[in-house]
Amino acid sequence: MATTEPGKPLLRHIANLWSLRDTPSAKKPWPLERKIAAVKEAEGILARAREEAERIRRETAANLDAALARREKMAMDKIAQAEVQAVADVRSQAVDIAMAAAAKLLKEGIDSGKGDELIDSAIKELDRKLH
């Protein structure tokens, strides 16, 4: 049981505070039934507060899970976009290198043996340019 002071239970403390409402005194003490009703009412207040705290905890946990799922999806989408862009960049560079090799072949007017050598060289250069 929670306490407010060492050795003084919280429920007793609430009941004492509750009794201040009607300020019972030696001349006008609360009857036993009234004291029991006040204690039961305090217990009800505590029970409702605990239930509300638990509801808020569950709601907060659900909201956190939903927020984390949204952020994870956003991160996965960004990764997928980056992968698509990387593939497009590699293809673009491969096309540029192949076109440069073809232009060089046409410009120099070389035989097919030399052309194959230039294409092989361009393929090797592709790997170097991509890394």
Q: What is the pLDDT of residue 65?
A: 94
Rounded Cα gap, residues 131 and 128, in angstroms: 5
115 Cβ contact list (under 8 Å, min separation 6): 105
State mean pLDDT over 66-91.
Answer: 94
Confidence of residue 3 (pLDDT cuts 50, 70, 90): very low
State mean pLDDT over 63-81.
Answer: 96
pLDDT at 5 over 60: no
Rounded Cα gap, residues 96 and 14, in angstroms: 81
Rounded Cα gap, residues 123 and 100, in angstroms: 11
Identify the DSSP state of 68.
H
Q: What is the pLDDT of residue 16?
A: 64
Q: What is the pLDDT of residue 110?
A: 64
DSSP letter string over 17-81?
HHHTTS---SSSPPPHHHHHHHHHHHHHHHHHHHHHHHHHHHHHHHHHHHHHHHHHHHHHHHHHH
Better-scored residue on pLDDT, 49 or 20: 49
Q: What is the pLDDT of residue 111?
A: 64
Q: What is the pLDDT of residue 1?
A: 46
Confidence of residue 20 (pLDDT cuts 50, 70, 90): low
Q: Model confidence over 29-48: pLDDT tens digits?
A: 778 888 888 889 889 999 99
Q: What is the pLDDT of residue 9?
A: 65
Rounded Cα gap, residues 20 and 10, in angstroms: 16
Q: What is the pLDDT of residue 22?
A: 62
pLDDT at 82 over 80: yes
